Amino acid sequence: MTPGERGLEVLSSRVLLRPRDLEGGIAFYRDVLGLAVYREYGEPGRPHGVVFFFGGGFLEVSGSSPEPGPEKIELWLQVRDVDAVHRRFEEAGIRVVEEPVDKSWGLREMRALDPDGVRLVVVQIPEDHPLRRDQRPT
């Protein structure tokens, strides 16, 4: 980065946790630690998840991963323009494992790896997406 050039503008972030036992993981963070729920999505018994307030950020418990390793934790980074971040990552030699794509749930996402193999999920939320309404003050 040259002097005066801005770093990556992250609008929102969360840690994504993929426990071995999804229901047990959700119960731990909700019932044992008592974290407040920001939002829930999906239905129990089907792919679903819970996003908890986590200090100054969020912790999302969703999906599952049977083995320990970097795939159990992901960093979710909301940006204004995922395609611009993609170009920046390519120029910097960052390994992109999923090119930017519009997902069925309405977000534009890409995935990359940090030097230790931790997955970065870079997300752009379209103006008309319900998450935008969730972020606006009432």
Identify whether 7 is part of a domain: no
Identify whether 6 is part of a domain: no
93 CB contacts (<8 Å, ≥6 apart)? none
55 CB contacts (<8 Å, ≥6 apart)? none
Residue 80: CATH number of its domain: 3.10.180.10
Q: Does the predicted model carry a pTM greater than 0.85? A: no
> What confidence score (pLDDT) does residue 97 get?
96
Identify whether the C-beta of residue 99 lies closer than 8 Å to the C-beta of residue 91.
Answer: no
What is d(CA 1, CA 56) in angstroms, rounded to the nearest whole number? 27
Computed over every residue of the chain, the mean pLDDT equals: 83
Residue 135 in this model has a pLDDT that exceeds 60 = no
What is d(CA 123, CA 48) in angstroms, rounded to the nearest whole number? 18
What is d(CA 21, CA 66) in angstroms, rounded to the nearest whole number? 8
Mean pLDDT of 34-62: 85
- Confidence category of residue 51, pLDDT binned at 50, 70, 90: very high
> What confidence score (pLDDT) does residue 69 get?
65
Q: How many domains are there within the chain? A: 1
